[in-house]
Chains A and B, each alone.
Chain A
Amino acid sequence: MKEIIVGVSGINAVDNPGPGIGVARSLKEDKGLDVRIVGLAYDAMEPGIYMDWLIDKSFIMPYPSAGHDAYISRLLYIKESYGLDFVLPTLDAELPLYIKYAPELERNGIKTFLPTLEQFKLRSKDRLEEVAREIGMKFPKTRVVSSYQQLRDAVEEIGLPVMVKGIFYGAEKAYTVQEAIAHFNKIASQWGFPIIVQEMVSGEEVNVVGAGDGEGGHLGLFAIKKLWITSLGKIWTGVSIKNDALLEFADKFVSTYRWRGGFELECIAKDDEIYLIEINPRFPAWVYFATGSGLNIPANVLRRALEMDYEVKDYEAGRLYVRYTYELVTDMEKLHYMTTKGEA
């Protein structure tokens, strides 16, 4: 079996975890693959660096904002010094750069399997209504605002309470106009304009992780309900579900947009209607839930990208997902080399 060296980012397994560890664990658990994982870290303290049973070697990366030269040359250095056949980026902020320079990486022997820039842009919250309409889902009333007056008008039109959101990040509940203004200021100062004002839909929060093959077919779809979340809104306990309508919407999302790579749909089920709340153009941090239930979606992405056989397996509803905290104790060597040499 030929060894495949895969770069995975988002190995920050902290209280707001990146998806990298779940992805790395999934790839390692595919017995038909011989995978060596390269952790692409942004800080020497990212726990994945020290999880040597999953991450074989780690490198500190420049931030994507450093631009093409710094970032791509770092990847090419990894390719040359250690080997790198495939990169599976898992963080939103990295994706535009990887998407843009995927052909250059491919020419240098580093494959990716990512959405196109057009597909990536669908995650923008001001495109939510368009996507939901196209695939037949319900959506919360949404207005895009950039001034206090527009904010007041939107709140009046939608009715309180509302969600105030940044176009890509940040979401706060507002029960009064004053609260909406405070959130507007906070999100604008942190993430910039425009701001999204959205109807608050109450119901069951249900999510789907999946991946598309880029030609309209899917590489696995897996639905869950979050049973318990942290104060940061991150899943801690969940259960797998078989909601046919939800899975059909996810399938339609993949086929309509010919989605390529991993994704997550965040939805709310209210009575018999399903509202689309958010599209994430990458795997969620809980992606291992699908793998642990028998459907290894990250491995299917890798297999599809490398033109290997893959199988979209079925899964059972009622599988329980439980996160837990655990500790490891190691010596300073890795921290030492990550800090001084940027790799270990």
Chain B
Amino acid sequence: MKVKRLAISEDGFIFDPTTGNSFTTNETGLFILQLLKEGKSPEEIVRELVNQYDVDEQEAERDVLDFMEKLRRYKLL
């Protein structure tokens, strides 16, 4: 999984050591990315988001899927 190779800093700076591309993300993106890196499934990430933030399951699911789509577009997933 490509996401495992990413260097992710605590403030949301992401570096892909294979391509040399770098990106920034916000706190939520960082939260999702860390969990993806740990190998968590989208369903598990949605549950963690609902537990951690003031967000309902539907919105969290939409955010996770949107974010994962963005990662795919940038070839990070």
Chain A residues with a Cβ under 8 A of chain B: 204, 206, 224-225, 227, 238-244, 269, 271, 317-318
Judged by a CB distance under 8 angstroms, whether B31 is at the interface is: no
Q: Which residue of B lies closest to A243 (CB)?
A: B18
Which residues, 2 to 57 on B, are CB-close (under 8 Å) to A?
A: 7, 15, 17-22
- Chain B residue numbers with a CB within 8 Å of A271 are 75
How many angstroms between the C-alpha atoms of A224 and B21 in the bound complex?
A: 11
- Chain A residue numbers with a CB within 8 Å of B17 are 241-242, 317-318
- Chain B residue numbers with a CB within 8 Å of A225 are 19-21
Question: Chain B: interface secondary structure?
Answer: loop
Question: Count of A-B contacts with CB under 8 A?
Answer: 34
How many angstroms between the C-alpha atoms of A207 and B19 in the bound complex?
A: 11
How many angstroms between the C-alpha atoms of A243 and B22 in the bound complex?
A: 15
Chain B interface residue count, Cβ-Cβ cutoff 8 angstroms:
9
Chain B residues with a Cβ under 8 A of chain A: 7, 15, 17-22, 75
Min CB gap A227→B, angstroms: 7
How many angstroms between the C-alpha atoms of A302 and B17 in the bound complex?
A: 30
Asked whether A204 lies within 8 Å of B7 as measured between CB atoms, the reply is: no
Name B19's contact: one of A238, A244, A269 (CB within 8 Å).
Answer: A269
- Chain A residue numbers with a CB within 8 Å of B7 are 317-318
- Chain B residue numbers with a CB within 8 Å of A243 are 18-19
Q: Among the interface residues B18, B22, B75, which one has the most CB atoms of the partner chain A within 10 A?
A: B18
Offer 8 A-B interface pairs, CB within 8 angstroms, sorted by A. Answer: A204-B19, A224-B20, A227-B20, A241-B18, A241-B19, A242-B17, A271-B75, A317-B7
How many angstroms between the C-alpha atoms of A238 and B20 in the bound complex?
A: 9
Q: Which residue of B lies closest to A227 (CB)?
A: B20
How many angstroms between the C-alpha atoms of A239 and B19 in the bound complex?
A: 9
- Chain A residue numbers with a CB within 8 Å of B75 are 271
- Chain B residue numbers with a CB within 8 Å of A239 are 15, 20, 22
Min CB gap A241→B, angstroms: 4
How many angstroms between the C-alpha atoms of A204 and B75 in the bound complex?
A: 12
Q: Which residue of A lies closest to B2 (CB)?
A: A272
- Chain A residue numbers with a CB within 8 Å of B15 are 239, 317-318
How many angstroms between the C-alpha atoms of A243 and B2 in the bound complex?
A: 12
